[in-house]
Amino acid sequence: NKALLTALKGKETITADGRKIKLYANMGNVSDLAAVLQNDAEGIGLFRSEFLYLEKDRFPTEEEQFQIYKNVAETMAGKRVIIRTLDIGADKQADYFQLEKEENPAMGYRAIRICLEQPEIFKTQLRAIFRASAYGNISIMYPMIISKEEIKKIRQIVEEVKADLEELGVPYGKVEQGIMIETPAAAVISDELAKEVDFFSIGTNDLTQYTLAIDRQNAKLDVFYDAHHEAVLRLIEMTVANAHKAGIWAGICGELGADTELTERFVNMGIDELSVAPGCILPIRKIVREMDRA
Ligand code: PEP
Ligand code: MG
Protein backbone atom coordinates (compact mmCIF):
# COMPACT_ATOMS: atom_id res chain seq x y z
CA ASN A 1 0.00 0.00 0.00
CA LYS A 2 1.67 3.13 -1.33
CA ALA A 3 -0.13 5.61 0.93
CA LEU A 4 0.79 3.66 4.06
CA LEU A 5 4.34 3.54 2.92
CA THR A 6 4.71 7.28 2.48
CA ALA A 7 2.87 8.05 5.70
CA LEU A 8 4.70 5.61 7.97
CA LYS A 9 8.15 5.34 6.48
CA GLY A 10 10.78 6.81 8.76
CA LYS A 11 8.31 6.97 11.67
CA GLU A 12 8.94 5.24 15.00
CA THR A 13 7.01 2.15 16.04
CA ILE A 14 5.66 3.54 19.30
CA THR A 15 2.27 3.53 21.00
CA ALA A 16 0.49 6.83 21.64
CA ASP A 17 1.37 6.39 25.32
CA GLY A 18 5.04 6.02 24.53
CA ARG A 19 5.94 2.33 24.47
CA LYS A 20 8.45 1.55 21.73
CA ILE A 21 8.45 -1.77 19.86
CA LYS A 22 11.35 -3.00 17.75
CA LEU A 23 9.80 -3.83 14.38
CA TYR A 24 12.15 -6.07 12.45
CA ALA A 25 11.97 -8.13 9.25
CA ASN A 26 12.35 -11.84 8.56
CA MET A 27 14.67 -12.79 5.72
CA GLY A 28 15.04 -16.11 3.94
CA ASN A 29 17.42 -15.09 1.20
CA VAL A 30 19.70 -12.21 0.27
CA SER A 31 17.19 -11.25 -2.42
CA ASP A 32 14.76 -10.26 0.37
CA LEU A 33 17.01 -7.32 1.30
CA ALA A 34 15.38 -4.92 -1.16
CA ALA A 35 11.95 -5.51 0.42
CA VAL A 36 13.44 -5.19 3.91
CA LEU A 37 14.78 -1.71 3.06
CA GLN A 38 11.74 -0.70 1.03
CA ASN A 39 9.40 -1.43 3.94
CA ASP A 40 11.58 0.43 6.44
CA ALA A 41 12.44 -2.46 8.76
CA GLU A 42 14.25 -1.33 11.90
CA GLY A 43 16.49 -4.38 11.72
CA ILE A 44 16.47 -8.04 10.72
CA GLY A 45 14.98 -10.18 13.47
CA LEU A 46 15.35 -13.53 11.74
CA PHE A 47 17.93 -14.21 9.07
CA ARG A 48 17.21 -17.83 8.10
CA SER A 49 20.76 -18.86 7.25
CA GLU A 50 19.72 -22.29 5.95
CA PHE A 51 19.33 -20.98 2.41
CA LEU A 52 23.13 -20.76 2.21
CA TYR A 53 23.27 -24.52 2.70
CA LEU A 54 20.15 -25.48 0.73
CA GLU A 55 21.15 -23.71 -2.47
CA LYS A 56 24.43 -25.66 -2.69
CA ASP A 57 25.41 -29.26 -3.26
CA ARG A 58 28.23 -28.98 -0.72
CA PHE A 59 28.87 -27.13 2.52
CA PRO A 60 29.25 -23.38 2.02
CA THR A 61 32.77 -22.33 2.99
CA GLU A 62 33.56 -19.93 5.82
CA GLU A 63 34.58 -17.33 3.26
CA GLU A 64 31.33 -17.66 1.26
CA GLN A 65 29.28 -17.27 4.41
CA PHE A 66 31.40 -14.39 5.70
CA GLN A 67 30.89 -12.41 2.47
CA ILE A 68 27.12 -12.78 2.69
CA TYR A 69 26.81 -11.94 6.40
CA LYS A 70 29.15 -8.97 5.95
CA ASN A 71 27.15 -7.72 2.97
CA VAL A 72 23.87 -7.90 4.92
CA ALA A 73 25.41 -6.24 8.00
CA GLU A 74 26.87 -3.42 5.89
CA THR A 75 23.65 -2.94 3.93
CA MET A 76 21.70 -2.61 7.18
CA ALA A 77 24.18 0.11 8.20
CA GLY A 78 24.27 -0.30 11.97
CA LYS A 79 20.75 -1.66 12.36
CA ARG A 80 20.59 -4.99 14.16
CA VAL A 81 20.87 -8.18 12.08
CA ILE A 82 19.98 -11.37 13.99
CA ILE A 83 21.47 -14.37 12.22
CA ARG A 84 19.88 -17.65 13.16
CA THR A 85 22.37 -20.48 12.99
CA LEU A 86 21.74 -23.43 10.72
CA ASP A 87 18.23 -24.86 11.10
CA ILE A 88 18.40 -27.81 8.75
CA GLY A 89 16.69 -31.20 9.05
CA ALA A 90 12.96 -31.93 9.23
CA ASP A 91 11.37 -30.13 6.25
CA LYS A 92 14.70 -28.61 5.14
CA GLN A 93 16.94 -31.29 3.63
CA ALA A 94 20.26 -31.11 1.78
CA ASP A 95 21.65 -34.40 0.42
CA TYR A 96 25.28 -33.69 1.26
CA PHE A 97 24.48 -33.63 4.99
CA GLN A 98 23.69 -37.33 4.53
CA LEU A 99 20.99 -37.28 7.17
CA GLU A 100 19.30 -40.57 7.79
CA LYS A 101 15.66 -40.93 6.88
CA GLU A 102 13.61 -40.59 10.06
CA GLU A 103 10.16 -41.69 11.16
CA ASN A 104 9.50 -38.32 12.84
CA PRO A 105 11.76 -35.73 11.24
CA ALA A 106 10.11 -32.75 12.98
CA MET A 107 11.11 -34.34 16.27
CA GLY A 108 14.38 -35.62 14.94
CA TYR A 109 17.97 -34.80 14.23
CA ARG A 110 17.77 -31.15 13.25
CA ALA A 111 18.95 -27.60 13.88
CA ILE A 112 21.08 -27.12 17.02
CA ARG A 113 21.18 -30.88 17.51
CA ILE A 114 23.17 -31.28 14.29
CA CYS A 115 25.38 -28.34 15.21
CA LEU A 116 26.25 -29.78 18.63
CA GLU A 117 26.88 -33.27 17.27
CA GLN A 118 28.93 -32.01 14.31
CA PRO A 119 30.73 -29.00 15.79
CA GLU A 120 32.96 -28.49 12.75
CA ILE A 121 29.92 -27.47 10.69
CA PHE A 122 28.81 -25.19 13.54
CA LYS A 123 32.24 -23.62 14.04
CA THR A 124 32.61 -22.75 10.38
CA GLN A 125 29.36 -20.82 10.53
CA LEU A 126 30.18 -19.15 13.85
CA ARG A 127 33.59 -18.04 12.59
CA ALA A 128 31.96 -16.48 9.52
CA ILE A 129 29.37 -14.70 11.69
CA PHE A 130 31.90 -13.39 14.22
CA ARG A 131 34.19 -12.15 11.44
CA ALA A 132 31.23 -10.35 9.82
CA SER A 133 30.32 -8.76 13.17
CA ALA A 134 33.21 -6.33 12.71
CA TYR A 135 31.24 -4.73 9.85
CA GLY A 136 27.87 -4.01 11.45
CA ASN A 137 25.46 -4.80 14.28
CA ILE A 138 25.19 -8.58 14.30
CA SER A 139 23.44 -10.79 16.85
CA ILE A 140 23.17 -14.58 16.82
CA MET A 141 20.29 -16.80 17.80
CA TYR A 142 20.12 -20.54 18.18
CA PRO A 143 17.13 -22.63 17.04
CA MET A 144 15.29 -25.55 18.70
CA ILE A 145 16.75 -25.13 22.17
CA ILE A 146 15.30 -27.32 24.93
CA SER A 147 17.83 -27.06 27.78
CA LYS A 148 20.42 -25.07 29.70
CA GLU A 149 22.98 -27.78 28.93
CA GLU A 150 22.72 -26.99 25.22
CA ILE A 151 23.41 -23.33 25.94
CA LYS A 152 26.48 -24.27 27.99
CA LYS A 153 27.80 -26.41 25.13
CA ILE A 154 27.14 -23.62 22.64
CA ARG A 155 28.94 -21.13 24.86
CA GLN A 156 31.98 -23.39 25.03
CA ILE A 157 32.13 -23.68 21.24
CA VAL A 158 31.68 -19.92 20.85
CA GLU A 159 34.56 -19.31 23.27
CA GLU A 160 36.79 -21.58 21.19
CA VAL A 161 35.85 -19.71 18.02
CA LYS A 162 36.56 -16.34 19.60
CA ALA A 163 39.89 -17.54 21.00
CA ASP A 164 40.92 -18.77 17.52
CA LEU A 165 40.05 -15.42 15.96
CA GLU A 166 41.92 -13.53 18.65
CA GLU A 167 44.98 -15.67 18.15
CA LEU A 168 44.88 -14.88 14.44
CA GLY A 169 44.32 -11.19 15.12
CA VAL A 170 40.97 -11.22 13.30
CA PRO A 171 38.64 -8.50 14.60
CA TYR A 172 35.05 -9.09 15.69
CA GLY A 173 32.38 -6.91 17.25
CA LYS A 174 30.16 -7.20 20.30
CA VAL A 175 27.63 -9.91 19.49
CA GLU A 176 24.43 -10.43 21.50
CA GLN A 177 23.41 -14.06 21.71
CA GLY A 178 19.84 -15.23 22.08
CA ILE A 179 17.79 -18.34 21.67
CA MET A 180 14.60 -19.19 19.89
CA ILE A 181 11.78 -20.26 22.13
CA GLU A 182 10.05 -22.70 19.82
CA THR A 183 9.67 -25.83 21.92
CA PRO A 184 7.21 -26.11 24.81
CA ALA A 185 10.19 -27.23 26.95
CA ALA A 186 12.00 -23.95 26.37
CA ALA A 187 8.89 -21.89 27.12
CA VAL A 188 8.21 -23.79 30.33
CA ILE A 189 11.77 -23.33 31.66
CA SER A 190 12.17 -19.86 30.16
CA ASP A 191 12.79 -18.47 33.68
CA GLU A 192 15.98 -20.57 33.84
CA LEU A 193 17.02 -20.04 30.22
CA ALA A 194 16.61 -16.26 30.52
CA LYS A 195 19.55 -16.14 32.93
CA GLU A 196 21.85 -17.62 30.28
CA VAL A 197 21.20 -15.45 27.20
CA ASP A 198 20.78 -11.87 25.97
CA PHE A 199 17.33 -12.23 24.38
CA PHE A 200 14.50 -14.56 23.40
CA SER A 201 12.85 -14.81 20.01
CA ILE A 202 9.66 -16.86 20.02
CA GLY A 203 9.24 -19.15 17.01
CA THR A 204 5.50 -19.59 16.96
CA ASN A 205 5.50 -21.84 13.89
CA ASP A 206 7.29 -24.64 15.67
CA LEU A 207 5.97 -23.70 19.12
CA THR A 208 2.43 -24.17 17.80
CA GLN A 209 3.32 -27.41 16.03
CA TYR A 210 4.83 -28.94 19.17
CA THR A 211 2.28 -27.54 21.63
CA LEU A 212 -0.77 -28.63 19.65
CA ALA A 213 0.88 -31.80 18.26
CA ILE A 214 -0.10 -30.65 14.79
CA ASP A 215 2.40 -31.23 11.96
CA ARG A 216 2.88 -27.81 10.34
CA GLN A 217 3.43 -29.54 6.96
CA ASN A 218 0.22 -31.56 6.96
CA ALA A 219 -2.57 -29.69 5.17
CA LYS A 220 -5.10 -32.31 6.28
CA LEU A 221 -4.78 -30.95 9.81
CA ASP A 222 -5.60 -27.36 8.90
CA VAL A 223 -9.09 -27.84 10.27
CA PHE A 224 -7.64 -28.57 13.72
CA TYR A 225 -5.01 -25.86 13.56
CA ASP A 226 -6.00 -22.95 15.77
CA ALA A 227 -3.36 -20.26 15.45
CA HIS A 228 -4.87 -18.41 18.41
CA HIS A 229 -4.97 -21.43 20.71
CA GLU A 230 -4.86 -20.22 24.31
CA ALA A 231 -2.11 -22.73 25.18
CA VAL A 232 0.28 -21.09 22.72
CA LEU A 233 -0.69 -17.56 23.79
CA ARG A 234 -0.12 -18.42 27.45
CA LEU A 235 3.29 -19.90 26.68
CA ILE A 236 4.17 -16.68 24.84
CA GLU A 237 2.98 -14.53 27.73
CA MET A 238 4.90 -16.61 30.25
CA THR A 239 8.07 -16.42 28.14
CA VAL A 240 7.87 -12.63 27.89
CA ALA A 241 7.27 -12.29 31.63
CA ASN A 242 10.22 -14.57 32.44
CA ALA A 243 12.46 -12.65 30.04
CA HIS A 244 11.63 -9.38 31.77
CA LYS A 245 12.15 -10.88 35.23
CA ALA A 246 15.71 -11.68 34.16
CA GLY A 247 16.18 -8.29 32.52
CA ILE A 248 16.36 -9.44 28.90
CA TRP A 249 14.14 -8.60 25.93
CA ALA A 250 11.74 -10.93 24.12
CA GLY A 251 10.30 -10.88 20.62
CA ILE A 252 8.32 -13.03 18.23
CA CYS A 253 9.70 -14.11 14.85
CA GLY A 254 7.15 -16.79 13.94
CA GLU A 255 4.20 -16.08 11.63
CA LEU A 256 1.93 -15.27 14.57
CA GLY A 257 3.96 -12.12 15.19
CA ALA A 258 2.51 -10.71 11.98
CA ASP A 259 -1.10 -11.52 12.91
CA THR A 260 -2.66 -8.08 13.18
CA GLU A 261 -5.57 -9.45 15.24
CA LEU A 262 -3.01 -10.13 17.98
CA THR A 263 -0.79 -7.05 17.76
CA GLU A 264 -2.55 -5.26 20.62
CA ARG A 265 -2.49 -8.36 22.78
CA PHE A 266 1.25 -8.82 22.21
CA VAL A 267 1.98 -5.19 23.02
CA ASN A 268 -0.12 -5.49 26.18
CA MET A 269 1.87 -8.59 27.15
CA GLY A 270 4.97 -6.42 26.98
CA ILE A 271 6.51 -7.84 23.83
CA ASP A 272 9.68 -5.91 22.96
CA GLU A 273 10.09 -6.92 19.34
CA LEU A 274 8.11 -8.28 16.42
CA SER A 275 9.94 -9.71 13.42
CA VAL A 276 7.69 -10.19 10.41
CA ALA A 277 7.66 -10.59 6.64
CA PRO A 278 8.71 -7.24 5.09
CA GLY A 279 5.23 -6.57 3.69
CA CYS A 280 3.71 -6.77 7.19
CA ILE A 281 5.91 -4.09 8.76
CA LEU A 282 3.99 -0.92 7.92
CA PRO A 283 0.50 -2.27 8.71
CA ILE A 284 1.78 -3.33 12.16
CA ARG A 285 3.51 0.01 12.71
CA LYS A 286 0.16 1.64 12.01
CA ILE A 287 -1.64 -0.46 14.64
CA VAL A 288 1.03 0.13 17.28
CA ARG A 289 1.01 3.88 16.70
CA GLU A 290 -2.76 3.96 17.12
CA MET A 291 -2.62 2.11 20.44
CA ASP A 292 -3.07 4.12 23.60
CA ARG A 293 -2.96 2.24 26.89
CA ALA A 294 -3.11 5.39 29.03
C1 PEP B 1 9.33 -20.72 13.88
O2 PEP B 1 9.42 -21.92 14.10
O3 PEP B 1 8.37 -20.01 14.26
C4 PEP B 1 10.39 -20.02 13.12
C5 PEP B 1 10.42 -18.69 13.04
O6 PEP B 1 11.33 -20.77 12.49
P7 PEP B 1 11.05 -21.58 11.12
O8 PEP B 1 9.69 -21.16 10.63
O9 PEP B 1 12.16 -21.23 10.21
O10 PEP B 1 11.08 -22.99 11.62
MG1 MG C 1 11.31 -22.98 13.77
**How many CA within 13 A on the CB side of residue 245?**
13
Per-residue confidence band for 89, with pLDDT thresholds at 50, 70 and 90: confident
Residue whose CA lies nearest to ligand 1 atom number 9: 48
The residue among 147, 220, 132, 225 whose CA lies nearest residue 179 is 147
What's the complex ipTM? 0.99
With a cut of 90, say whether residue 293 has pLDDT above it. Answer: no
- In the chain the beta strands, taken as DSSP E runs, fall at 22-27, 43-48, 80-84, 137-142, 176-181, 199-202, 249-252, 273-276
Which atom of ligand 1 lies closest to the CA of 143? Answer: 6
Identify the residues whose C-beta falls under 6 Å from ligand 1.
46, 48, 87, 182, 203-206, 253-254
Q: Does residue 253 carry a catalytic annotation?
A: yes
Between the CA of 205 and the centroid of ligand 1 the distance, in Å, is 5
Nearest CA to ligand 1 atom 7: 205
Report the pLDDT value the prediction gives residue 244, as an integer from 0 to 100: 98
Determine the pLDDT at residue 10: 94
Looking at residue 288, what is its pLDDT? 97
Annotated binding site: 48, 84, 182, 205-206, 216
**Section 105-112 average pLDDT:** 94
- What separation in Å is there between the alpha carbon of 78 and the centre of ligand 2? 26
Q: How confident is the model at residue 93 (pLDDT cuts 50, 70, 90)?
A: confident
Whether 5 has a pLDDT exceeding 80, the answer reads no
pLDDT at 210 over 90: yes
pTM (whole model) above 0.95: yes
In the prediction, which pLDDT does 1 show? 65
Query: Per-residue confidence at 109, pLDDT binned at 50, 70, 90?
Result: very high
Kindly report the number of other CB atoms within 10 A of residue 187's CB atom. Answer: 23
Q: Is the per-residue pLDDT at 88 higher than 80?
A: yes
The alpha carbon of 198 and the centre of ligand 1 are apart by a number of angstroms equal to 19
pLDDT digits (tens, 9 = 90+) for 121-159: 999 999 999 999 999 999 999 999 999 999 999 999 999
The pLDDT value given to residue 262: 98
> Distance, CA 34 to ligand 2 centroid (Å)?
24
**Whether residue 208 has pLDDT greater than 70:** yes
Of 67, 225, 207, the residue nearest 146 (C-alpha): 207
Of 26, 48, 141, 273, the residue with max ligand 1 atoms within 8 A of its CB, to mutate for a pocket test, comes to 48
Query: Catalytic residue among 129, 248, 253, 288, which?
Result: 253
pLDDT of residue 221: 96
